Amino acid sequence: MGKTREIKKRIKAVGNIRRITKTMQMIATSKFARAQQRATATKPYTEGVFELVRQIAAASSASHPLLTGPTEKPRFEPKPLTLIITSDRGLCGPYNGSVLRTAMAFLRENPAAKAGVIELVGKKGAGFMRFAGIEPSEQHQFGDKVGLETIEGLAQSYMDRFIAGEVSVVNVIYMRFISAGRQRPEIMQLLPLKPTKREATPGDSDAAAGASVEYEFSPRAEQLLGSLLPAAVKSTLLQAFNDAIVSEHVARMVAMKAATDNAGKMGKRLTRQFNRARQSQITTELTEIISGAAALN
């Protein structure tokens, strides 16, 4: 009798866990849909700004401190700055582990970055860094909804410190969202900004024509870069945060679905064990009754 009671308690506990994980899966799915919409909506703007910067930088000899660094020699030796983006909550599978493993490998390969300025986003990264014996310079808390007005101050501080010569390079380590089934931890150099140059492919008439066309800029190329480069840095940092948030929701959705499925399988297995134990108990009781009746006769 005690065995069946214990199994019934386990069945009830597994059922409660399954209901919780199912609810968390539905919440993560809802948040993922909204976060994916925000992440995909900002990509055309980011890519468009980068394309303009690429064309201006390729078609002119203009330069900017965000591309080449400070114009004057800094008073102190600049340090590299590394921003690591993790989550505030757990139960999201290998999301935080993948980002933190990439970050630790980067810091081991770059002693200057490990000795420089390290900033964190998310409580999970802060706990890991304390365990690893690394004290971050600053910890940011932004939550699940990040807008341009939220990131604008952080990006502006990075640009000001880079132009002033306080930091030599700004790297961002985050989870890049590629698709719903694929996310990849990535190390992105935010400053100095290096827009990727488009490589000409066979049959690419636009690239071939662009190489021989001379542009006249109005206003001047320096003024255009002065307006476009800060916007490119802010939009790039915002895109990194949006990718990290949507990747977190995807990982939590997948993890909670796997937990729900496992809880369902365990519930079925425990139900079979309960039926066997109950059947054995009934057989034992019938045997005792029959034996008692035979003894009376």
Cα→Cα distances 102→164, 218, 249, Å: 29, 44, 20
**Do residue 159 and residue 265 come from a single domain?**
no
Task: State how many domains the chain has.
Answer: 2
The percent of the chain in helix, strand and coil, each rounded to the nearest 5, is: 65, 15, 25
What pLDDT sits at residue 213?
A: 58
What pLDDT sits at residue 207?
A: 45
**Do residue 177 and residue 262 come from a single domain?**
no
Residue 209 pLDDT greater than 50, yes or no: no
Average pLDDT over residues 89-117: 94
**Do residue 72 and residue 134 come from a single domain?**
yes
Q: Does the residue 100 lie in any domain?
A: yes
**Distance of alpha carbon 260 from alpha carbon 20, whole angstroms:** 8
Q: Does the residue 32 lie in any domain?
A: yes
Q: Does the residue 205 lie in any domain?
A: no
Q: Does the residue 297 lie in any domain?
A: no
Percent of the chain with pLDDT over 70: 92
Average pLDDT over residues 265-288: 90
With CA atoms as reference, report the closest residue to 173 among 206, 219, 204, 129.
Answer: 129
Please report the sign of the dihedral spanned by the C-alpha atoms of residue 254, residue 259, residue 260, residue 265.
positive
**Do residue 249 and residue 140 come from a single domain?**
yes
Range of the domain at 72: 21-198+215-254
**Do residue 232 and residue 139 come from a single domain?**
yes
What pLDDT sits at residue 210?
A: 46
Task: Specify the pTM.
Answer: 0.84
**Pairing assessment for the beta strands 117-121 and 79-85 based on DSSP bridges:** parallel
283 CA to centre of own chain: 57
Q: Does the residue 84 lie in any domain?
A: yes
Q: Does the residue 166 lie in any domain?
A: yes
**Do residue 185 and residue 279 come from a single domain?**
no
Average pLDDT over residues 26-44: 90
Average pLDDT over residues 67-75: 76
With CA atoms as reference, report the closest residue to 82 among 65, 64, 94, 100.
Answer: 100
Contact call for residues 78 and 166 (beta carbons, < 8 A): yes
**Do residue 7 and residue 135 come from a single domain?**
no
Most confident of 40-54, 119-133, 183-197: 119-133
Contact call for residues 28 and 252 (beta carbons, < 8 A): yes
pLDDT per residue as tens digits for the range 179-196: 888 999 999 999 988 755
Token pair 């980068």 is at which residue? 50
Q: What is the CATH number of the domain that holds 114?
A: 3.40.1380.10
